[in-house]
Structure 1
Amino acid sequence: MKQAINIRLEKEMVKALDEYAKEKELEKTQTSLVEKAIERYFDRLDEMVADKRIDNLKSGKTAVVPLEEVFKKVGIDV
């Protein structure tokens, strides 16, 4: 189910959004264009988080805990 939100955008961005939404070849609404842009940005954010986690592992800021140790700590017998 979709939920409405209110956002503020620069006038130039709203103008560009309007122009793209009016393109007959795209057959997209403003909402669908914004949703797709946000989805793509979230994908990029996921990549950035993963890269940061890898960097932390490589630098030793984050330790790897063996799965067996996690199971033992929470009382799961494997």
Structure 2
Amino acid sequence: MKKAINIRLNESLLGDLDSYAHELDRTRTYLIEKSIAAYFDTLDEMISDQRIDEVKQGSVEVFSLEQVAQRLGIS
């Protein structure tokens, strides 16, 4: 199920979006959905980098596979 949202875009960005939509014979919505989905990969990398930094700084506790198995009672 799709839900409607409202966004504000810079006029030049909207112009580019419309140009791409026209050239590709796609809707604005289609291009925005594809762009967001593609950007999720970048966000995943950013979060991974943040987690690595937290581990390096010692601000999070890290458990080995053996420790997790032991806590869960898995041999």
TM-score band by shorter chain is 0.7 to 0.9
Q: How many residues align?
A: 75
Report sequence identity in percent: 49
Unaligned runs of 5+ in 2: none
Q: Residue 34 of structure 1 aligns to a residue in which SS?
A: helix
Q: After the TM superposition, which residues 1-78 of structure 1 pair with which residues of structure 2 at under 5 Å, given as runs?
A: 1-23=1-23, 26-66=24-64, 69=67
Shift of the 55–2 alpha-carbon distance from structure 1 to 2, 3 Å rule, reads same
Note the alpha carbon deviations across 1:43-78, whole angstroms, 9 max, x for none: 21111001110121122221213456556667x565
Worse overlay, 36-45 or 61-70: 61-70
- For residue 11 of structure 1, what is the amino acid of its counterpart? E
CA RMSD of aligned residues (A): 1.9
Supply the distance in 2 between the matched residues of 1:71 and 1:58 (Cα, whole angstroms): 23
Q: Residue 5 of structure 1 aligns to a residue in which SS?
A: coil
Alignment TM-score, normalising by the size of structure 1: 0.75
Alignment TM-score, normalising by the size of structure 2: 0.77
Note the alpha carbon deviations across 1:11-43, whole angstroms, 9 max, x for none: 1111111111111xx232111111111112222
- For residue 45 of structure 2, what is the amino acid of its counterpart? E
Which has the larger helix fraction? 2
Unaligned runs of 5+ in 1: none
Q: Residue 28 of structure 1 aligns to a residue in which SS?
A: coil
